[in-house]
């Protein structure tokens, strides 16, 4: 199988995440896309605002209508800091006959050199670098130098989707509308659970 691995906080998952996954699935002919919520991102000072269970449930609600999309809780189950190279290493050991692709927004390229063992990471998986319409064309040269000859980066084109988890959390806390940023099932869950509301530690 051709498996796309999409890691992130997903705090909360939004339409931008879903559009990125769909563009990668279609343009790279992926059989499945696995959403992998992180436990603790090493390069983020603060952890997620929603609980692990809440982020997993929001993902499940968001992808419920997509039969080829999965939620993988490997990093949450493992706990501690989430290093993508460790996750891909475990996946490759468990599924040696599958081909792995790592879904990346072009904005993440500036941090790639700071990741744990990036050369090993990009030996394990081919990076799919998503270029959002209206953004500058990503410079793949530094990334390509970290990749094996068989896992050179591919550019994926996607439409501009104006959504960010930070803005959604701000809007929910302020009581502002954010229906256009997240699936209805996810928004209803956020409101029902009281996630991100003003004065809440969630």
Q: Is 34 exposed, middle or buried (0-12, 13-18, 19+ CB in 10 A)?
A: buried
Sort strands 32-37 and 69-71 into parallel, antiparallel or unpaired: parallel
Q: What is the pLDDT of residue 110?
A: 84
Q: What is the pLDDT of residue 36?
A: 98
Distance CA 10, CA 123 (A): 26
Q: What is the pLDDT of residue 201?
A: 40
C-alpha separations of 121 from 82, 85, 164 in Å? 13, 5, 26
Q: Which residues contact 134 (CB under 8 A, 6 or more apart)?
A: 160
Residue 173 lies in a domain: yes
Residue 97 lies in a domain: yes
Residue 200 lies in a domain: no
CATH code where residue 81 lies: 3.40.50.620
Distance CA 16, CA 200 (A): 25
**Under the phi-then-psi rule, with left for phi > 0, alpha for psi from -120 to 50, and beta for the rest, what region is 133?**
beta
In this predicted model, what pLDDT tens digit does every residue of 174-198 receive, in sequence order? 999 999 999 999 999 999 999 998 6
Residue 9 lies in a domain: yes
Q: What is the pLDDT of residue 202?
A: 40
Residue 123 lies in a domain: yes
Q: What is the pLDDT of residue 42?
A: 80
Residue 199 lies in a domain: no
First to last CA, the chain: 37
Give me the domain span that covers residue 174: 2-193
Here the contacts of 158-163 (C-beta below 8 Å, separation 24 or greater) are 158/19, 158/20, 158/22, 158/23, 158/130, 158/131, 158/132, 158/133, 159/19, 159/132, 159/133, 160/132, 160/133, 160/134, 160/135, 161/15, 161/16, 161/19, 161/132, 162/16, 163/14, 163/15, 163/16
Q: Return the exposure string of 183-197: e unless at least 16 CB atoms fall within 10 Å of the residue's CB, then b.
A: beebbebbeebebbe
Residue 198 lies in a domain: no
Q: What is the pLDDT of residue 45?
A: 62
Residue 201 lies in a domain: no
Weakly modelled stretches of the chain, pLDDT under 50:
199-202
Our count of domains for the chain comes to 1
Q: What is the pLDDT of residue 198?
A: 67
The secondary structure element, H or E, covering residue 129 is: strand 126-132
The residue to which tokens 């559009």 are assigned: 19
């Amino acid at each position: 199988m051709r498996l796309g691995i999409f890691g992130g906080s997903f705090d909360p998952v939004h339409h931008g995440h879903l559009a990125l996954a769909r563009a990668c699935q279609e343009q790279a002919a992926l059989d499945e896309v696995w959403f992998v919520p992180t436990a603790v991102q090493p390069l983020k000072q603060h952890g997620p605002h929603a609980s692990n269970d809440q982020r997993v449930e929001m993902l499940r609600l968001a992808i419920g209508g997509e039969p080829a999309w999965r939620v993988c809780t490997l990093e949450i189950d493992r706990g501690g800091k989430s290093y993508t190279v460790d996750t891909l290493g475990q996946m490759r050991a468990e599924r040696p006959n599958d081909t792995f692709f790592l879904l990346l927004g072009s904005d993440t390229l500036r941090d790639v050199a700071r990741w744990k063992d990036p050369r090993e990471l990009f030996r394990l998986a081919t990076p799919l670098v998503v270029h959002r319409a209206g953004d500058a064309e990503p410079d793949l040269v530094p990334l390509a130098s970290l990749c094996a000859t068989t896992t050179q980066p591919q550019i994926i084109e996607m439409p501009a989707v104006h959504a960010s988890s930070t803005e959604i959390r701000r809007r929910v806390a302020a009581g502002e509308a954010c229906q256009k940023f997240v699936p209805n099932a996810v928004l209803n869950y956020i409101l029902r659970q009281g996630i991100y509301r003003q004065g809440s530690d969630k």
